């Protein structure tokens, strides 16, 4: 049964991929990539990688679709005819694909319990997490403690992206009543948005603080938090949503998240440990782990939420015409 689901999902993924390549309307392409991400998210669920699935659904299917639509609104929704012949890219893609398939030939069988990936470091994570970290979600323990430094790096990547968008697009503060004329008619959207806005924020907090126990964590929480504000901006206009969360605050948030993360590391050094050694943060090592993970996950969520909003505002505030996407 599982194989059947996998085959169907992978088949649909391939179809979506071909459709993305062939479609000329970029609006349709944005929707198709969203579908592609949703299909991948479903595939990750089948593979029992629920944390990854949650991220893919929130980012791939959610945020990046909105950002793509915002970019299309700024430019054009028709693909330009390519200037070069597609022969070289086609050759590169075929060669890469062939190499990937060739590489699979000696891989361990799918789901093989004897595969090296399941035999070397993974058992240590599974065995030690309950005693050393004291939380049930092993994915969180790897991301936020064992390989926490990678996560700090990833947050820095996101922070870099936010800084880059600020440098290239910047913010253009909106004057009021240039944009709210047509939007008053969107009664259903407004009512639904009003209902959902607090729930989305609440859910983001749940995903953040429940990350130790179930799928989720700072990254997903940040994205969900940002989508709440994006929904609000869609329904009530950009200037209203910017009053809710002014852009100076977004700068501070984007920087603060990385700083919180980094300072947790510095604090553990000052307390006599190694960088990001949470054990020293409290008298009891396991409590220290809890404190450390909670702090850094909060840092991640703050930076991610701020950067997603910075990118969104960066795009939509450049539109000269009234109204946003």
Question: Do the Cβ atoms of 54 and 215 come closer than 8 Å?
Answer: yes
Q: Is 115 helix (H, G, I), strand (E, B) or coil?
A: coil
Q: At what angle do helices 247-270 and 285-316 cross, to 10 degrees?
A: 160
Q: Does 35 bind other proteins (CB under 8 A)?
A: no
| Near other proteins by CB under 8 A: residue from 176, 184, 194, 274 | 274
x/- letters, 239..258, toward other proteins (CB under 8 A): ------------xx-xxx-x
Ramachandran angles phi, psi of 300, nearest 5°: -60, -50
Q: Does 120 bind other proteins (CB under 8 A)?
A: yes
| Near other proteins by CB under 8 A: residue from 19, 20, 52, 147 | 147
| Near other proteins by CB under 8 A: residue from 275, 291, 318, 323 | 275
List CB contacts of 145: < 8 A, sequence separation 6 or more. Answer: 133, 278, 289, 292, 293
Rounded to a whole number of angstroms, the minimum distance from the CB of residue 289 to other proteins is 10
Helical (H) or strand (E) element with 28: helix 26-46
Question: Do the Cβ atoms of 185 and 270 come closer than 8 Å?
Answer: no
Rounded to a whole number of angstroms, the minimum distance from the CB of residue 321 to other proteins is 23
Instruction: Rank residues 130 and 170 by Cβ distance to other proteins and give the closer one.
Output: 170
Binding positions for other proteins, 71-100, rule CB under 8 A = 99-100
- Among the listed residues 31, 70, 63, the one whose alpha carbon sits nearest the alpha carbon of residue 314: 70
| Near other proteins by CB under 8 A: residue from 6, 156, 240, 287 | 156
Rounded to a whole number of angstroms, the minimum distance from the CB of residue 86 to other proteins is 15
């Amino acid at each position: 049964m599982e194989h059947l689901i996998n085959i169907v999902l992978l088949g649909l993924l391939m179809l979506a991929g071909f459709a993305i390549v062939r479609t000329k309307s970029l609006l349709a392409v944005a929707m198709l990539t969203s579908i592609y991400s949703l299909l991948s998210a479903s595939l990750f669920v089948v593979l029992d990688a629920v944390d990854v699935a949650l991220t893919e659904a929130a980012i791939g299917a959610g945020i990046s679709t909105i950002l793509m639509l915002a970019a299309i609104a700024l430019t054009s929704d028709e693909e330009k005819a390519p200037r070069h012949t597609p022969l070289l890219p086609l050759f590169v893609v075929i060669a890469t694909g062939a190499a990937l398939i060739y590489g699979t030939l000696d891989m361990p069988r799918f789901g093989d319990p004897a595969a090296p990936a399941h035999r070397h470091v993974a058992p240590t994570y599974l065995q030690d997490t309950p005693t050393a970290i004291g939380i049930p979600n092993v994915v969180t323990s790897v991301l936020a403690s064992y390989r926490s430094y990678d996560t700090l790096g990833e947050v820095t990547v996101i922070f870099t992206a936010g800084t880059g968008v600020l440098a290239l697009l910047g913010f253009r503060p909106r004057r009021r009543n240039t944009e709210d004329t047509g939007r008053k008619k969107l009664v259903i959207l407004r009512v639904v948005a009003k209902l959902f806005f607090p729930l989305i924020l609440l859910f983001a907090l749940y995903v953040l603080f429940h990350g130790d126990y179930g799928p989720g964590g700072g990254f997903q929480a940040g994205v969900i938090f940002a989508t709440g504000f994006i929904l609000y901006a869609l329904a009530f206009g950009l200037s209203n949503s910017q009053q809710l969360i002014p852009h100076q605050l977004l700068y501070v948030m984007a920087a603060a998240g990385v700083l919180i993360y980094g300072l947790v590391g510095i604090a553990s050094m000052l307390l006599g440990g190694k960088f990001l050694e949470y054990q020293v943060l409290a008298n009891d090592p396991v409590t220290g782990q809890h404190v450390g993970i909670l702090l850094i996950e909060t840092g991640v969520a703050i930076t991610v939420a701020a950067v997603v909003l910075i990118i969104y505002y960066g795009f939509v505030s450049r539109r000269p015409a009234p109204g946003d996407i």
